[in-house]
Structure 1
């Protein structure tokens, strides 16, 4: 009897399908029943690779080998999942398998994963498509009852492959061309670019440039305190003739830009009587729309500080593992028009009725009153704002499923709660307000007072904000015809502020809305639904920019580095707007959408991409580093050799009168102008992090100018080298920081580390050494003194994990063996904590030279780790 092979994108989805359809027996990594064989990929199993005859090793990238435009693309297995690929190929080739069902995630990426497997296996058997938008058993069974034909998905498949190959061509050639350009004068300076990554970075650099160039302007506001029979109220002067901001983004009707005019108005109105006019009108506020992934990431970042990547991971777990949220990688904020019955069933689950044992009763109890009210009031009705097929793309909005929550972690609970409350709120009526605008006219000058009273909370009740804007917004009553008196005129001085730096939340918004200002209507329409990247990829794009040191996190802010400014200078100087403007993505999306509809051939699209790739390489070949134009500055510190002016160029800080210069990039790290100023002034700077050796491993170092005014690394190792025995170190003029925890001798500051005096020189008897920089956290001498005297430092908040690249906080503590380890903040455990012990760190590469392997790490379970 012939069977069909079902291939899902992830093992968890295969398990869901097996449970929903029933009748399967599990065999290791696949299931088998009477009608179907069922297995899964593990995400992407294959990736594009350059055919071997066109490949060039990374260290030998040069213009001689560019552009790389192979006549065909090879597929290579991803090493860590190759065994799963071999299993799928074996199942595809089974004689009793008569056809395949593509059950990968609905969308372009899922289509690509399956098509690559299909291509690699050389399959000629017929293919059908399962299109799922929810993982409930009912949705899975319904999906199998209406499978799509493989030919129906040809356009989507072509678009998926073209997008993948185009990203590869632009990314590989752009990265190699820019790397070759930056490596012309020696070394290997990796400079990554990408179709989505680089325009995103351009947004960041443009915002930071505006911040740096911002010049604050003074303005004044005039507030009056008015006395009436019922009490006092305040009003602010405003310009009744104000017609909008025009070209001044800081213009406001209530801002005065001339101090003398502001003072004149203050004197004119002080201690005068005034007349009052009032107008009241009802106003309503609708609930926010349901979440898509980007709006979910944005709100989670703003409320809880979750990174976009963390939010995606949590949402994915709530979808795959817990089955309590619908598919999260969506750009839609509406539901299908036939989904009303499912919504009613979901609301019924949220009331707690008919839910089996083991669920989180306390959580459902919070939602039950609102879910019950919606059902009792019959508020789930046809509504294009909620149920709209035209606004549903591959997937619909993120909402709770029919499964009740149980055993959620605290972060998972926070995210689930956000989604459920938004789901409940969208079916509630609008919030109703009474807004009163009062104009008080004193000596002919108008002062505005506004009051906003919440009359009916509507959807706000879901968030517990029924009375939040009640009494505070109420105005003191003024009787008809009553005159008021200006008892005080308060003039306050202010200054305009630069635009705020991007947080992950605001950057996601900018990426989502990129291209809305395009002049071309068709491109603007193509970008309208997508922006830069997709909801599923934006988090990783931000993480990649951080990993490549184009961005750095400062609290919740993201700040572009000097390396980012350098890349934008290069691309703008070379005249390659395709890599910095969102128009490229807009044009691609427009064409790929046409391809999905069968209106554009795959070959025609790829021919255009090849031509663009050639142009990028040609532009990079046509310039030298000293001819790149840019907005470069001057240093305030003179040249150490001749005292002349030093100017910045694309690659150097160059003296204008002699041959003295300093490279901007050293050992893979780009210097900021302020760091060069400090180096020239003090002749020494550091320790600095972010350097990388020839093997790509990070290290920290001090930079100093030698007698010839050349920069050199100072590691302060004091260890034997190729030229002879270890250097003897004289600590007689240094101040001790405390007793060595290993031998009791004195500890001193030396180079990149704090060392025992007995650990240096030829008579070395102790090996105590602790870095000045540990996991990118600078350990000040004051903290080392505390560690040596009391056994622990203060809480240090800027450690960065080598594995996750996320910041964490910890104390440095002295162990019984004299080694230095981590101790994390103590928090109330949910279950009794097991006794922990210190073990050697698993992340020595971040500490590199400074710790020399002596840092230890506590294995305590703590959320801050």
Structure 2
């Protein structure tokens, strides 16, 4: 009897399966038992490639060789994982292996990984599909008793391949076409685009355009403090006849657009008696839906500041490593209708945890019962909502514990009844002018009890509860104020709000149920949205500023180009969301793959043809005018698509230098101060990133300055007129801002007797002048975030100066719990670790 080869997506999953099924002997990178051979991929092992006869080896980035739409694709091994592919090929071809089990992640990408492997090997051996929603031992055992036929997931496989090929066609052709367009006048200006990434960028640009064009309008409100027998309360004047104006969202009942009118109301009502009328109505609030990945990422970003990528990584660890959450890469917010018994079992397991009081209450009250808002097969695609498993969480780190807590509380809260309130609206009428006051009293916390909300003793007042007023009581308008204010532009996107906009195909939908209904036509999938945002950041289209996402000059330039070329396929979130909807239809067997791919090929050809037909033309756009006059003639400098051009003389500066696009403020500084920097993100001809200052020469040309060379070879550097930052920790001389570094005055020039320098950029993080002052005076900076390690991971550290003047990192002490102290919650604090850095490494930032 032959053996069955099980292929998981990751080694850790293969290890779990081996442990649960039992009887395996471990070999190098695979397991074997009497019945099974078990191994895994390590993520994607193969990538799409154009067949050699259709690919152009030279000049492939030129218009002459576009579009590239091959009749089929080849698969090329990914170099760094080629050894694993060879192992799986060998195992698949073993003569004693007569069947395969696809145990890759239960979703589109897992299906793609497995199908590319079997296609590459060319095997015809029969395949079964293991579909796991949870990684608990019980779920794994159950999954092996319910293996799916390969035909059942064939549509999912077709959707996976279609997604992969569509992204390749649009991404490669679009990138080559836009790069060719931007490189017409010389140089090589790589301009990346993507089927989902670029419309997501367009969402950010559209919001930024609104903010830029926003003109603030002044308005006034009249606020009053009213004295009643039981105390004071506040009210705000409002227009009782107000009706919403769809054309002007800034119009609101309480706003007055004329200061004189507001002052007149204040004068009229000051120190005058008022008559009170009051109406109280019961209101209720239902618990939000269970989490899918996007809503979990959104809440984790809002509450903890976690990026979408971080949340996905934590959720994957809680699913795969700790096995305490169900499969996280889901877009469903409901559970299967036959899952009631499983939910009760999970509730039972939570009884012994810190959530026990709520789990017991739910089971005792019998609240786990059929409910279409929770248990609904029609709202489930490949996966159901993210909920806890029956395993108790142990050894979670702080971030994992926070995310688990979000999921566990939502899981408990969804079964509780609605929160109940008594909402009171009080109208205080003074001299026929109405003032509104609203109060809210919680009557029953319902599901909010899970989040710590309680009815307080003695009537349970909320912060907004009103002081009591007797029927017919006369109150006094004791203090009335006119509050001046201005309308504000919409807020910039953060990751939470951008995820919502992507889910709603560009529309920021606040209503949970409506957003869920629109999610089928969203941009990307829950599993890919995090990587889309990270891709925009890594390509320098977007920068994180605090929690906000700011599009860069490079981003504006790309969207300006695409709008000018009239290719809405790459700028319309709704249109691209429709492509995602069609991929879902392929998964469900409602759309043929070849029809979708024909549409993608047509879209690709249109993008390329539009770029070709606009060659040599100037792209129009909403460009800025610099405040700084032309340094050559004093004329006005106007931004164009590719340059900053004087309108009177021939002075012009390219917007892109060494692959990096200048921001308007950077160009302003370069023109006024003849120097800007140090700036990051330049790329050499060899493709290597570097940092540099940029100077404007006497000939009005841009030139790199790396802080060394002829200037440092001079006999002496003149620091007169510059303010010293402090004393050199090595020799006691003065430290100055110099070129690419903060340097001791004796570490530059021809007669160097000291080597103290600190780079202005260390590990991709600009070092602020004030932090260097602190380092020189106190021996230590503040805790500095956003250093980027060699592995691309962000970290925070102090810069400290040692007794020998060497500068190093000092890391925050970590809280660790030993086995003996964990039970008593005693915390052991580790000592801060310091790592010393050589001055050369600090200067270059290559620590």
Which of 356, 363, 373 is 1:368 aligned to?
Answer: 356
Cα deviation code 1:3-46 (max 9, x no counterpart): 22221212222223223333333223222223322222112111
User: Equivalents in 2 of 1:125, 1:350: separation in Å?
Assistant: 44
Cα deviation code 1:255-304 (max 9, x no counterpart): 11122222222233333333322221211111111111111111111111
Of 323-332 and 261-270, the range deviating more from structure 2:
261-270
3-state SS of paired residue (2:317): helix
The answer to whether the 8 Å contact 1:287/1:430 transfers is yes
Counting only pairs closer than 5 Å after superposition, residues 256-655 of structure 1 correspond to structure 2 as 256-352=256-352, 364=353, 366-467=354-455, 470-514=461-505, 528-624=519-615, 627-655=618-646
Determine the structure 1 residue equivalent to 2:830: 833
Which of 706, 728, 739 is 2:697 aligned to?
Answer: 706
Task: Quote the offset at 1:322 in angstroms.
Answer: 0.5
Determine the structure 2 residue equivalent to 1:173: 173
The answer to whether the 8 Å contact 1:332/1:393 transfers is yes
The answer to whether the 8 Å contact 2:21/2:141 transfers is yes
Unaligned runs of 5+ in 2: 510-514, 818-827
Determine the structure 2 residue equivalent to 1:862: none
Which of 795, 798, 801 is 1:814 aligned to?
Answer: 801
The answer to whether the 8 Å contact 2:811/2:832 transfers is no
The answer to whether the 8 Å contact 1:276/1:440 transfers is yes
The answer to whether the 8 Å contact 1:703/1:713 transfers is yes
Task: Quote the offset at 1:626 in angstroms.
Answer: 5.3
User: Equivalents in 2 of 1:373, 1:266: separation in Å?
Assistant: 53
Counting only pairs closer than 5 Å after superposition, residues 152-167 of structure 1 correspond to structure 2 as 152-167=152-167
The answer to whether the 8 Å contact 2:730/2:805 transfers is yes
Of 62-71 and 168-177, the range deviating more from structure 2:
62-71
The answer to whether the 8 Å contact 1:182/1:625 transfers is no
Superposed CA RMSD in Å reads 2.6
User: Equivalents in 2 of 1:168, 1:303: separation in Å?
Assistant: 36
3-state SS of paired residue (1:171): helix
3-state SS of paired residue (2:171): helix
Would the alpha carbon gap of residues 233 and 768 (structure 1) be closer, same or farther in structure 2, given more than 3 Å must change? closer
**TM-score (normalizing by structure 2):** 0.92
Task: Quote the offset at 1:817 in angstroms.
Answer: 4.9
The answer to whether the 8 Å contact 2:807/2:837 transfers is no
Would the alpha carbon gap of residues 128 and 816 (structure 1) be closer, same or farther in structure 2, given more than 3 Å must change? same
Would the alpha carbon gap of residues 675 and 279 (structure 1) be closer, same or farther in structure 2, given more than 3 Å must change? same
Of 405-414 and 181-190, the range deviating more from structure 2:
181-190
3-state SS of paired residue (1:128): strand
Determine the structure 1 residue equivalent to 2:32: 32
Would the alpha carbon gap of residues 625 and 168 (structure 1) be closer, same or farther in structure 2, given more than 3 Å must change? same
The answer to whether the 8 Å contact 1:654/1:661 transfers is yes
Cα deviation code 1:370-393 (max 9, x no counterpart): 111111111111111111111111
Would the alpha carbon gap of residues 389 and 607 (structure 1) be closer, same or farther in structure 2, given more than 3 Å must change? same
Equivalent residues, number: 828
User: Equivalents in 2 of 1:210, 1:710: separation in Å?
Assistant: 34
Cα deviation code 1:455-491 (max 9, x no counterpart): 1111111111114772433322222233333223222
User: Equivalents in 1 of 2:409, 2:214: separation in Å?
Assistant: 40
User: Equivalents in 1 of 2:3, 2:519: separation in Å?
Assistant: 43
Determine the structure 1 residue equivalent to 2:758: 770
User: Equivalents in 2 of 1:732, 1:205: separation in Å?
Assistant: 43
Of 334-343 and 677-686, the range deviating more from structure 2:
677-686
User: Equivalents in 2 of 1:796, 1:517: separation in Å?
Assistant: 33
Of 314-323 and 668-677, the range deviating more from structure 2:
668-677
3-state SS of paired residue (1:473): coil
Determine the structure 2 residue equivalent to 1:851: 843
Would the alpha carbon gap of residues 591 and 791 (structure 1) be closer, same or farther in structure 2, given more than 3 Å must change? closer
Cα deviation code 1:601-626 (max 9, x no counterpart): 33332222222211111111122465
Would the alpha carbon gap of residues 794 and 464 (structure 1) be closer, same or farther in structure 2, given more than 3 Å must change? closer
Unaligned runs of 5+ in 1: 353-363, 519-523, 857-865
User: Equivalents in 1 of 2:719, 2:371: separation in Å?
Assistant: 82
User: Equivalents in 1 of 2:581, 2:805: separation in Å?
Assistant: 63
User: Equivalents in 1 of 2:803, 2:780: separation in Å?
Assistant: 12
User: Equivalents in 2 of 1:782, 1:271: separation in Å?
Assistant: 52
Of 815-824 and 828-837, the range deviating more from structure 2:
828-837
Task: Quote the offset at 1:123 in angstroms.
Answer: 0.8
User: Equivalents in 2 of 1:788, 1:274: separation in Å?
Assistant: 64
User: Equivalents in 2 of 1:525, 1:296: separation in Å?
Assistant: 13
User: Equivalents in 2 of 1:83, 1:390: separation in Å?
Assistant: 43
The answer to whether the 8 Å contact 1:134/1:326 transfers is yes
Cα deviation code 1:650-700 (max 9, x no counterpart): 000111222110111112221122222222222222222222222333322
Determine the structure 1 residue equivalent to 2:238: 238
User: Equivalents in 2 of 1:797, 1:834: separation in Å?
Assistant: 19
The answer to whether the 8 Å contact 1:526/1:590 transfers is no
User: Equivalents in 2 of 1:4, 1:779: separation in Å?
Assistant: 57
The answer to whether the 8 Å contact 2:813/2:829 transfers is no
User: Equivalents in 1 of 2:832, 2:772: separation in Å?
Assistant: 27
The answer to whether the 8 Å contact 1:127/1:150 transfers is yes
Asked if residue 675 in structure 1 is aligned to residue 666 in structure 2, the reply is yes
User: Equivalents in 2 of 1:289, 1:59: separation in Å?
Assistant: 53
Determine the structure 2 residue equivalent to 1:859: none
The answer to whether the 8 Å contact 2:810/2:832 transfers is no
User: Equivalents in 1 of 2:508, 2:770: separation in Å?
Assistant: 52
Determine the structure 1 residue equivalent to 2:687: 696
Would the alpha carbon gap of residues 727 and 547 (structure 1) be closer, same or farther in structure 2, given more than 3 Å must change? same
3-state SS of paired residue (1:167): helix
3-state SS of paired residue (2:31): strand
Task: Quote the offset at 1:585 in angstroms.
Answer: 2.5
User: Equivalents in 2 of 1:484, 1:746: separation in Å?
Assistant: 69
